[in-house]
C-alpha cells in the first residue's frame, strides 16, 4: 500500500487534481460515505489526533475496513500499512474531492420554521458553505432579520441570487409553489438545489437536485420499529 505522500504529484496522480477538481467519477454511495469519513476525521483533528488506523476510522464511520479502503481509493488515499492515515492530510484530501475547497454560497428560499433554523445553523460555514440570502413571499416576513441575514422578497429572487453570487439553493417551501420557484432558480443559473419540499421536482439535465423528505425517513423508521417489536414469526 502506498503512503500518504502530501506532494502535489501524489495528489495529481490520484482522484483529485492539484486544483481540487475530481479527476474521476466517484459512485454516489461512496460520495455519501466520504462525507461521514470527513466528519470523523474532523472530530479527530479537534482532539489533536495525528494518525488513525483504517480499522479505527472505519469503526468511527460505521463501515467495514474494506469499504473504507475502497472508498478512499477513489480519491487516491491508501494510507501506510502499520502506520495508518495522517488525519490532517486525509481530511484535506477528502475535502478537495468533495469540492469543499471551493467557495459555496447558499441561498434559502422559504423563511418558515425550517428555513429560519437552517439560516441560523452555525455549522455550515466551517464546512465551506456561506449562507448569503434567505427569501420569503409573505410581506409580513420580508425585511425581518434571521440571524445575520435580512429576509428578501422572493419577487427579487433572480436579482439577489446574482448580486450575492449564490451557487446553491435550498428550497424550504410548500409543495404547491416548489416547482415554480425551482424553475426560476434554474433559469437564474443555479444548478445545485437541495429541496425539503414534499413533492417530486422536475429539473433539466445538468442540474443537481437532492431531496430531503423527513416524513419518508420517519415512515421507514416506523417500518423497522414495527418489525423489531413484532413477535418472532419463526418461533
pLDDT in tens, 118-143: 999 988 887 889 999 999 999 999 99
Residue 1 C-alpha from the chain's centroid: 30
Taking residues 43-61, what's their average pLDDT? 92
Report the b/e string of 83-100 with b at 16+ CB within 10 A: ebbbbbbbbbbbbbbbeb
Average pLDDT, rounded, for the chain: 85
Helix (H, G, I), strand (E, B) or coil at 57: helix
pTM for this entry: 0.72
Q: How far apart are CA 116 and CA 146, in angstroms?
A: 6
HSE-CB for 36 with a 13 A CA cutoff: 15
**Domains in the chain: ranges and CATH:** 8-97 (1.10.10.10), 104-217 (3.40.50.720)
pLDDT in the model for residue 233: 54
Q: Which helix (H) or strand (E) holds 107?
A: strand 104-109
DSSP character for 154? Answer: G
Lowest mean pLDDT among 76-90, 130-144, 148-162, 187-201: 76-90
pLDDT in the model for residue 145: 95
pLDDT in the model for residue 154: 97
End-to-end CA distance of the chain: 48
Q: Which helix (H) or strand (E) holds 157?
A: helix 157-164
Per-residue pLDDT tens for 148-163?
Answer: 999 999 999 999 999 9
Dihedral of CA 209/213/217/220: which sign? negative
Taking residues 72-79, what's their average pLDDT? 79
Amino acid at each position: 500500500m502506498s503512503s500518504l505522500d502530501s506532494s502535489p504529484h501524489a495528489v495529481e496522480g490520484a482522484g483529485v487534481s492539484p486544483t481540487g477538481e475530481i479527476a474521476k467519477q466517484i459512485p454516489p454511495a461512496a460520495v455519501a460515505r466520504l462525507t461521514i469519513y470527513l466528519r470523523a476525521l474532523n472530530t479527530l483533528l479537534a482532539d489533536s489526533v495525528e494518525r488513525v488506523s483504517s480499522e479505527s476510522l472505519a469503526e468511527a464511520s460505521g463501515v467495514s475496513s474494506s469499504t473504507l479502503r475502497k472508498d478512499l481509493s477513489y480519491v487516491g488515499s491508501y494510507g501506510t500499512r502499520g502506520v495508518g492515515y495522517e488525519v490532517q492530510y486525509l481530511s484535506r484530501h477528502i475535502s478537495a474531492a468533495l469540492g469543499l475547497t471551493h467557495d459555496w454560497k447558499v441561498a434559502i428560499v422559504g423563511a418558515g420554521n425550517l428555513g429560519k433554523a437552517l439560516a441560523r445553523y452555525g455549522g455550515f460555514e466551517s464546512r465551506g458553505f456561506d449562507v448569503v440570502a434567505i427569501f420569503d413571499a409573505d410581506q409580513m416576513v420580508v425585511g425581518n432579520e434571521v440571524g445575520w441575514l435580512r429576509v428578501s422578497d422572493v419577487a427579487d429572487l433572480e436579482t439577489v441570487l446574482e448580486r450575492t453570487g449564490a451557487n446553491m439553493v435550498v428550497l424550504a417551501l410548500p409543495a404547491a409553489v416548489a416547482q415554480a420557484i425551482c424553475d426560476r432558480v434554474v433559469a437564474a443559473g443555479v444548478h445545485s438545489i437541495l429541496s425539503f419540499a414534499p413533492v417530486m421536482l422536475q429539473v433539466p439535465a445538468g442540474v443537481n437536485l437532492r431531496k430531503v423528505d423527513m416524513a419518508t425517513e420517519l415512515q421507514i423508521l416506523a417500518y423497522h420499529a414495527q418489525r423489531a417489536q413484532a413477535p418472532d414469526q419463526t418461533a
